[in-house]
Structures are given as structure tokens and as C-alpha cells.
Amino acid sequence: MKNIKQSLIIALTLVCGASFSANASFINFNDYTTSDYVNQAITGSATSSADGSTLTLTGNLWVTISELFIITPDSTLYFTMEAFGNEAEWYGIGFDDNDSVTASTLFQLGGDEGTRANQISSYSFGDGAVDFAIDVGTFFTGSYDKLVFILDSDRISGASLSFSNVEICNDTTNCESLLSTPPSPISANAPAALGMFAMSLFLLAAGRKRLKS
């Protein structure tokens, strides 16, 4: 009887654990407080979506989120970017470890202003939401404590930019961005856990029946 009760407890634990989101590797912006990046935050705001999957910048704004980011030779940065409102001078993303603008650890994704940042894509205003996969590890490696998001619009007002489904993958086997279908909010292990829970209930009932007979 004691073993049956232990099985029931284990099954309940698995069921509860299975209810957590399978999107754990995507950055949840609601878990962070954005900070202005050195002297590059001029005007505007940074807001996260209700589910935390999207960060939207408005105005003329560079912001960061703080975390320990380990960049290895195999690291890839995945995200979806969309520019709207008025066209900014340039859009970008990157990493920082010294609170100083370092072009070699930044990526220019679009805009007609020439910069010394790594040139990744010629995102054209009006392209809508575009998926990016940057092999960061081929540009630099090391430990960084900030992820930088860039909406540079010194001369134009009314510019906006969003970053969604941001993920840094060092191991492709655990990379949500590489799934062929959108991840379910319920873990794929939930059916197995529910089956174990049902089996435990059955065993518990059977054990009680044997005790009565």
C-alpha cells in the first residue's frame, strides 16, 4: 500500500510539472527590466507583450536586458523582427560586457545609415515580420552580461521596432526555434504523465480492494 501511494505522489508531481510552458528557452521579457544603454537612449519606451514573447521599442532608443549569455563557437541567435511606424536610420541587436558601444559585438539588421556593426541583413522597411538566425559564434565568443536591442532614429520621429521569440541556442537539440511546428503550451510529456496518474489511481483502487477481501 505504501508503494502504491508513492506511485500516486510521483504521478501527481509529473502531471504538475507537465503543465509548465514548453517555450522555456525563448526569452520572456516579462522576467526582465529593460535598461537604457549608455548614452543611446534618447526618447521613447520599451514595453513587453502580455505573454512576454515580444519586446517593442518606440522612438530613438537602445535598451538592454541583463543576464549571463555564454557565446560559444556553435551559438546561434534566433528572433523575429518587425519595423513599423516611420522608418528609422538603423535597426540592430547585439551583446555587451563593458557598458560601452562596441561595434564588433553588434549586428546591423537594416536601415540606410552606415555603421561599423556587423552587417547581417538588408532589412527593408515594409518587409513586415522577418525571421533571423545569426551564427553569433562565428563573429565572437565569450561571456556577456547584456543583450542589446537597437532602434536608432535620431532624425525621424514615430519609429517603432519589435523583437519576438528571441532565443540563444548553443545546443540545437534543445532549440525551440528549430521545431517544425509551434511548441504547445503543454509539455509533450503531459500525456505520459496523465497515463501514469491514471495507472496509479487504478493500482490504488486495486490495492484497496485486496485489503478488503
CATH number of 60's domain: 2.60.120.260
Structural domains counted in the chain: 1
Question: Residues 145-171: pLDDT tens digits?
Answer: 999 999 999 998 999 999 999 999 998
- Residue 191 pLDDT more than 70? no
Residue 101 counted as domain residue: yes
* Pairing outcome for strands 106-110 and 118-123: parallel
How far apart are the C-alpha atoms of 83 and 78, rounded to whole Å?
A: 17
Q: Which helix (H) or strand (E) holds 192?
A: helix 190-212
pLDDT of residue 2: 44
Per-residue confidence at 187, pLDDT binned at 50, 70, 90?
Answer: very low
- Residue 182 pLDDT more than 70? no
What are the angstrom distances between the C-alpha of 121 and each of 90, 124, 132, 150, 174? 11, 9, 9, 14, 26
pLDDT of residue 180: 53
Residue 11 counted as domain residue: no
Helix, strand, or coil here: 143? strand
Range of the domain at 147: 29-175
Average pLDDT value for the chain: 80
Whether the predicted model's global pTM rises above the 0.85 cut? no
